[in-house]
Amino acid sequence: MRIIPAIDIIEGKCVRLSKGDYDTKKVYNEDPLEVALAYEDHGIKHLHLVDLDGAKSKRVVNHRILETIASKTGLQIDFGGGIKSDEDLHMVFESGASQATGGSIAVKSRNTFLNWLEHYGPDKIILGADCRDGNISVSGWQEDSSEAVVPFIKSYQKKGIQYVICTEISKDGMLAGPAFDLYQEILKKTSRVETTVGPSGVEDREIPGINLIASGGISGMNELPRLAELGCEGVIIGKAIYENRIALKDLENYILMHT
């Protein structure tokens, strides 16, 4: 399971929100590059970079920060927030992102998102399936849609999506544990059954159908093995690092043990 620290950006600074509420903004560091370098120094290879200004304004705003981090670290960056047009997406990849996450666009302009998936391929495009009370939320979590999360993911799985980030918004920033039951349901309903013939006879086993990245609510190292056991391909960790619930050294040791 990949360890993916998060950096959320408002006005060029590293912030965290609670349940996606912009009024709960707390600034943790004014230099995103400094934070990214600290992650890299501890053996972390991936970064989830979120343009919260972009999510709110419905266009990419903080691409310069992406460009700076991408050019001064070796981190593989997935970027989300405000990607609403072909031009936005092109800018994100030109600025150094390895992957781009589309959430609102996948709800509001399905054809555009599917065109991105076809043009760039499933290794580059991540489906953002952030939900509240089982329904997908959009526009920086400021609006709730009528799209139920599991059918929403399955509809894009049929079109070839491979990577999905799912945040249960009620958990995000609350340091009260992730949405284990939700992830279990998603993985079960998107898995496929593979039949094999071995020494003990015919066996059916479930194979994950998507690469599910858990996000929201992570509060301690003890939660990581359970997410890995469920079959999550990655986990995004934000506030728990800033609040010293999870030490970077512990993440470094976890990565070393599992590589």
Structure-token pair, residue 245? 């619930």
For residue 217, the 8-state DSSP code is -
Asked which of 32-36, 55-59, 144-148, 196-200 is least confident by mean pLDDT, the reply is 196-200
The pLDDT tens digits for 55-82 are 889 999 999 999 999 999 999 999 999 9
Predicted confidence at residue 189, as pLDDT, reads 94
> Band of the pLDDT at 130, cuts 50, 70, 90?
very high
Range of the domain at 86: 2-257
Predicted confidence at residue 201, as pLDDT, reads 74
Active site residue 41: no
Q: What is the CATH number of the domain that holds 50?
A: 3.20.20.70
Mean pLDDT over each residue of the chain, to the nearest integer: 93
> Band of the pLDDT at 155, cuts 50, 70, 90?
very high
Q: Which of 51, 53, 130, 172 is catalytic?
A: 130
> Band of the pLDDT at 200, cuts 50, 70, 90?
confident
The count of domains in the chain is 1
Q: Which of 8, 51, 53, 88 is catalytic?
A: 8
Report the C-alpha gap between 212 and 171 in whole angstroms: 17
Position with higher pLDDT, 198 vs 68: 68
What angle, rounded to 10 degrees, do the helices at 149-157 and 180-190 form? 40
Tell me what percent of the residues of the chain surpass a pLDDT of 70.
99
Q: Residue 174: count other Cβ atoms within 10 Å of its Cβ.
A: 15
Beta bridge partners of 205: 194
Asked which of 14-28, 151-165, 183-197 is least confident by mean pLDDT, the reply is 183-197
Chain position carrying tokens 């993440």: 251
DSSP for 115-177?
HHHHHH-TTTEEEE--EETTEEEETTTTEEEEEEHHHHHHHHHTTT--EEEEEBTTTTTS-S-
Active site residue 23: no
Structure-token pair, residue 229? 């056991």
Kindly give, in sequence order, each residue whose CB lies less than 8 Å from that of residue 7, ignoring residues fewer than 6 positions away.
14, 32, 35, 36, 47, 48, 49, 50, 69
Residue 162 has pLDDT above 80, yes or no: yes
